[in-house]
Structures are given as C-alpha cells and as structure tokens.
Amino acid sequence: MTVIGWIQAIVFFLLVLALTKPIGSYMFRVFDGQKTWLSPLLRPVERLIYRIGGVREDEEMTWYAYAFAMLAFSVVSFAYLYVLLRTQKWLPFNPQHFDNMTPDLAFNTAISFTTNTNWQFYSGENALSYLSQMAGLAWHNFVSAGVGIAIAVAVVRGVARTSVKTLGNFWVDLTRCCLYVLLPISIVVGLYFVAAGMPQNLHAYQDAVSIEGFKQTLTGGPMASQEVIKELGTNGGGFVNANSASPNENPTALTNLVELVLIFLLGAGLTYTYGKMVKDTRQGWAIFTAMAILFFAGFMLAYWAEAQGNPLVHAMGVAGGNMEGKECRFGISASALFATVTTDTSCGAVNSWHDSFMPLGGLVPLVNMQLGEIVFGGVGSGLYGMIVFVVLTVFIAGLMVGRTPEYLGKKIERREVQFAILAALVTPVLCLVPTAVAAIIPPGLATLNNGGPHGFSEILYAFTSTNANNGSAFGGLGPNLFYNIVTGTNMMFGRFAVAIPALALAGALAGKTSVPEGPGTFTTHSGIFVALLIGVIVIVGALTFLPADSLGPIVEHLLLLQGNTY
C-alpha cells in the first residue's frame, strides 16, 4: 500500500461527502413535488409524459397498489427487452449484422437489466446491435434505476408519514427521477466522457493495420451516453465485455474517478434526502456514517491483499502487487477501490477482474454483496435495504432493554419485524441454496474456469451477485442453459422478494400514529446507534455466510500460502 494510493481513496470519499447534501436536497425537492431550477424546462415534458401515459399526477397509491404498478411495469419492460434481443437482426442500427440472441440467453439478459442487475453472459461488442444497446439496455439502465429510487422514496414516506394508507404515486416518482435526476446528469457527464476519449458514434467497426502489420478491428458505438447511466444508475452492464476496464469505456484515471463518484452519488445523496423527508437530517447522517465505516473497512482489506501480490509469482523472481486482470493506467489502488465501490452498491461495473484478485481481495466484493449492498447501495435499493437493517437494530436494542422498540416515533411491532426479517432472509436463502446445488451437479460444474476452492468461489460469487442484483462476476464462469435459467430466476427473486416486503413494511409504518419522544426513547442518530447498526449488519452477514466463504476464498488463501495450485 502507498500513501498516494490512500490519498486517491480519501479524495474520492471527500468528493462524495461534499456532493451528498446538494444532490440530497435536490432529490428531496424533486420527490416532494417542489419546483427546481430545471422545472421551467422539464415541467412541460413531464406533463406531456403523464398525458401520453394516462397518469393522474395527484393520485396517491397504497403500498400494494404501488407494488402492483412497479410489478406491471417490470413485466412489460422485461417482455419488451426479450423481444428486442430476439429480433435485433431485422431492426435498424445493426451495422455489424449481429444475429438474434438465443432464447435462454435473451431471457437471462432481459431479467438482468429489468432488475438493475446487469449480469452479462454475453459480450456486447460481438453480440448486440446499437439499437439493443441504446433503446434496450441503456433505456433499462434509466428506468430500472428510476424504479429502485421510486421504491426507496415510497419506503421513506412510509417511515415519515403518520396515520395514512398511501405512499405516493409510482409513475410520478419514476418519471420525476428519470427526468429531473438521471437525464440532466447523464447529458452533462456523458459529454465530458466523450471529450475524455469515449467513443460516441453509430458507424460500423473500423479496420486498422498497425505500422508493424498487425490487423485489428476497432469497435465503436454510442458508448459514452450509455457509460454514464451505467454508473449513475448503479446498473453496471458494460457496452463491451471488459466493461470499465476497457479503455473505450474508461480511458483515463480521471474518467475512472468520475465513474466512481457517479456510482456512489445517488446512494449517498439519498441518505440526506431521507433525513430531510423524516425532518431530522441527523438520522440520514447516522446512516451515512455507518455506510462510510463499512466502505473504508472493505477498501482497506482489498487494497492490502492486492498490494501484497501473489507469492507464487514472487517465487519466479518478479516483484510487486497483483496486476493480473488489472490495467496499467489505474494500477492497484484504483482497481481495489473500484471493486469495493461497485459491490458496496449494486453497480457491478468492473475496471479489473475480481476473479483474478488475491483470495482475500476477492473476498471483499463477495462480502459486500452478501451484506446486502447497503453501503450507499444500489440507487434506492441500498437505502431501503438499510432501513430494513435499521428496523432490526431498533428491535434488537429494544429487546436488550426490555421495552417496545420505536423508530422516529413509530412503535416497531410484530408485523414490521416480520416484514424486515422476510426481506433480510431472502438474500441468504437465494444465494446459498442454488450454490450448494450447483456445486454437486454436473451442469453446475461444467463451465468453471478455475479448479479447487476458487472454482467453488466462482459459483458462490455468481449466485451472490445475481441475487444481490449486482452483476459483477468472477468472470471465468461461463454460461450454459442451467446458469442462464437459474441465475435469471435468482435475479428476479433477489429484486422483488426484497422490494415487496420493504414496501409492505412501509405501508405498515405509514398507518401508525406517532408516539411522542420520552426519556426512555433510544436515540437513532448517536454513535452508539451507528455502532449497533454496523454490529447487526456484520453479525447477520457473518452468521449466514461465513461457512460458505470459508470453503471458498478463506481456504484458498490458506492453501495459497502453502503453495498449492489447481
């Protein structure tokens, strides 16, 4: 580890910290229906969208109406993407004449982008038309992020409101998020990305012959416009297979920093929005603090492990940290930072291959996802995942002192805890059961790229990532019918089986009356609460996943020290 490597991470974090309040207050105004400085320009467009969509702006929805609207939109957008991928050959903007996707791969990809996962069993640069990229995947990057933030806003309204049945209007939240938040940032940063060197064109690939006579086909496409929303919406699906490691998607160390900030931006901002909505910004900062501590813990371990390097390569006389699957312009610190950030959130973009990380370096992204991606988190999903943990923490704290727990004036009772537990149990069940099955049946083992414990880690990572809607991979694992179908359904449950209980929890909270704060009220913005919250997150995660992680990265680390290879 070097001082400069740490400065890079600290400057990155300070940038996120500085942007949290401005973007958070802006989002508060957007979701509160207030005027913003963009309103004169965007309000007419917003009205037009409602008129075409048949949306009544002032209509409030109960939690189940909200959930139904969200599910209906997801079903339609899934079906649309499936059809697009199956017919791209006959549609415009396909200068490379790519064929239609196979049914199982199209199923997997369509679910993957509908659920904001962006798990990719294909390579964009040799499989997808520009139309599929722009109007299929990049469009999904906008709306699936919008859906995530809409759910989070609805959940927060549930915490903030008293004695009502409704949580807002799904269509309005979705539209305002895309129009006022995602689109303006995408336009501005997208143009910077082009200036910095990312391609943005529609023509066919360019053939080149080097001065030495080496023949090469240079790829192109509308990359910059997709790159920006890929990070901002914590989607993570690369235009090309190498994702943000490709110099086309991430040409310089500065674009790398901007991408990192984009990934954390909205998740961090939402903690401030949350504080504003519950009328106590200290609550938002308490959550922010817990997230920040978990972020630095992850980065420290990943950076340390990668900087140590591979002892088996050192034995050949070559010195230095682990550069397998990393890019020269980024180096070790920026790669470890990216791996931490992309899995703290549900992004899943990569600028280096996690599969080729050191065992303990690869453990960090794995654990980040297993904890539920609540460190700033996926746009929206991170905040509502964190609120579930807050409810559990308040409940456990209440048990410790033997009084009815309350959070922000709401009594936390049986129903709330049931929904919270349900949401918290989905991830472990959906991750560990398929992993165990895949590890013992032939189709599960057929497409591994590594042997020994690392092969097991590839399977574990795949189900952890798909179920947490992350989308990063131990990329050696190849697709087959088994993985296409099982990871596909896994992504679907991973999204909706957390979102729906979270909405139900919000619905239950919204209906409650407010109890005045008393001397015995547990303060939820103190250092003690932050420590307790981190404790609950780590204990729930560790109790559930430690056995599986031991069989993968941890045992691999010990065997590596003994010089074993597979």
Partner 1 sequence: MIKHLGTSLRMTIVSIVLLGLIYPLAMTAIAQVAFPKQANGSLVTVNGKVVGSWIVGQLWSKPQYFQGRPSAAGKGYDPTNTGGTNYGATSKKLIDSTKATIATLEKQNPDASGPPPMDLVTSSASGIDPDISPDAAYWEAPRVAKARKMSIAAVNALVAQHVQGRTFGFLGEPHVNVLELNLALDGLKTD
Nearer to partner 1, 7 or 481 (CB): 7
Q: Which stretch binds partner 1 (CB under 8 A): 223-231, 270-278, 375-383, 486-494?
A: 223-231
Span of 22-30, 132-140, 412-420, 432-440 interacting with partner 1 by CB under 8 A: 132-140
Question: Does residue 284 bind partner 1 (CB under 8 A)?
Answer: no
**Which candidate, 454, 437, 299, 435, places its Cα nearest to that of 367?**
299
Please choose, out of 27-35, 151-159, 220-228, 365-373, the segment that lies near partner 1 by the rule CB under 8 A. 220-228
SS3 category, 62: strand
Is 204 a residue that touches partner 1 (CB under 8 A)?
no
* Residue 148 binding partner 1, by CB under 8 A: no
Which of 319, 401, 442, 520 contacts partner 1 by CB under 8 A?
A: 319
d(C-alpha 421, C-alpha 415), whole Å: 10
Torsion of CA 234, 345, 170, 31, to 10 degrees: -90
Q: Based on the shown chain and the rule CB under 8 A, indicate whether residue 320 belongs to the binding site for partner 1.
A: yes
Task: Provide the mask over 345-364, with x wherever binding to partner 1 is found by CB under 8 A and - wherever it is not.
Answer: -----xxxx-xxxxx--x--
251 makes contact with partner 1 (CB under 8 A): yes
CA distance 533 to 372: 14
| By CB under 8 A, residue 195 contacts partner 1 | yes
554 binds partner 1 (CB under 8 A): no
Binding track over 475-504 against partner 1, x by CB under 8 A: xx----------------------------
Instruction: Report phi then psi at 222, rounded to 5.
Output: -80, 75
Distances (CA, A) of 24 to 47, 95, 146, 229, 378: 24, 41, 15, 18, 15
CA-CA distance, 188 to 289, in Å (whole number)?
A: 29
Q: Among 250, 263, 272, which Cα is nearest to 340's?
A: 263
Q: Among 114, 289, 310, 524, which residue interacts with partner 1 (rule: CB under 8 A)?
A: 310
When asked if residue 467 is in the footprint of partner 1 (CB under 8 A), the reply is no
Residue 226 touches partner 1, criterion: CB under 8 A: yes
Q: Determine, following the binding rule CB under 8 A, whether residue 452 of this chain makes contact with partner 1.
A: yes
Q: Write out the H or E segment, with its range, that includes residue 340.
A: helix 331-344
CA distances 391 to 195, 234, 292, 541, 544, Å, are 45, 25, 19, 16, 19
**Min separation Cβ 401 and partner 1, Å:** 44
One residue of 20, 28, 110, 125 binding partner 1 per CB under 8 A: 125
> Which residue, 47, 19, 48, 23, is CA-closest to 36?
23
Q: How far is the CB of 460 from partner 1 (least distance, A)?
A: 13
Beta-sheet strands, E only, within 383-508: 406-407, 410-411
End-to-end Cα, the chain, rounded Å: 28
User: Which listed residue (14, 17, 83, 218) binds partner 1 by CB under 8 A?
Assistant: 218
| One residue of 24, 148, 158, 222 binding partner 1 per CB under 8 A | 222
Question: According to CB under 8 A, which residues from 59 to 88 bind partner 1?
Answer: 68-69, 71-73, 75-77, 80
CB of 116 to partner 1, least distance (A): 15
Buried b (16+ CB within 10 A) or exposed e, 394-428: bbbbbeeeeeebbbbbbebeeebbebbebbbebbb
Contact 295, 14 (CB under 8 A): no
Helix and strand numbers (H, E) in the chain are 21, 4
Q: What phi, psi does 220 have (nearest 5°)?
A: -150, -155
Taking the complex as a whole, the smallest distance from the CB of residue 84 to partner 1 amounts, in Å, to 10
Closest distance between partner 1 and the C-beta of residue 8, in Å?
5
Query: How many residues of this chain bind partner 1 (CB under 8 A)?
Result: 128
Pick one of 38, 164, 191, 301: the residue that binds partner 1 (CB under 8 A): 191
Question: Which range of residues in 45-53, 101-109, 394-402, 464-472 is near partner 1 by CB under 8 A?
Answer: 45-53
User: Does 461 help bind partner 1 (rule: CB under 8 A)?
Assistant: no
Residue among 38 and 559 whose Cβ is closer to partner 1:
559
* Cβ closest to partner 1, residue 503 vs residue 537: 503
What mask, x for binding partner 1 by CB under 8 A, covers residues 501 to 540? ----------------------------------------
The Cα-based distances of 196 to 19, 192, 221, 226 in angstroms read 22, 6, 16, 15
**Tokens coding 389:** 């943990």
- Any idea what DSSP says for residue 251? -
- As given in the structure block, the two tokens for residue 422 are 């349900």
Q: Does 97 bind partner 1 (CB under 8 A)?
A: no
CB of 297 to partner 1, least distance (A): 22
Q: Is 396 in the site for partner 1 (CB under 8 A)?
A: no
How far apart are alpha carbons 144 and 235 in whole angstroms? 8
Binding to partner 1 in span 155-184, by CB under 8 A: 171, 174-175, 178, 183
39/450 with CB nearer partner 1: 450
Q: Rule CB under 8 A: is residue 198 a binding residue for partner 1? A: yes
- Quick check: 81 and 140 in contact, CB under 8 A? yes
CB of 156 to partner 1, least distance (A): 22
C-alpha to C-alpha distance for 272 and 280, rounded to whole angstroms: 9
Structure tokens at 316: 């050949």
Asked if 551 touches partner 1 (CB under 8 A), the answer is no
Beta bridge partners of 215: 209
CB of 344 to partner 1, least distance (A): 20
Residues of this chain, 362-381, that bind partner 1 according to CB under 8 A: 362
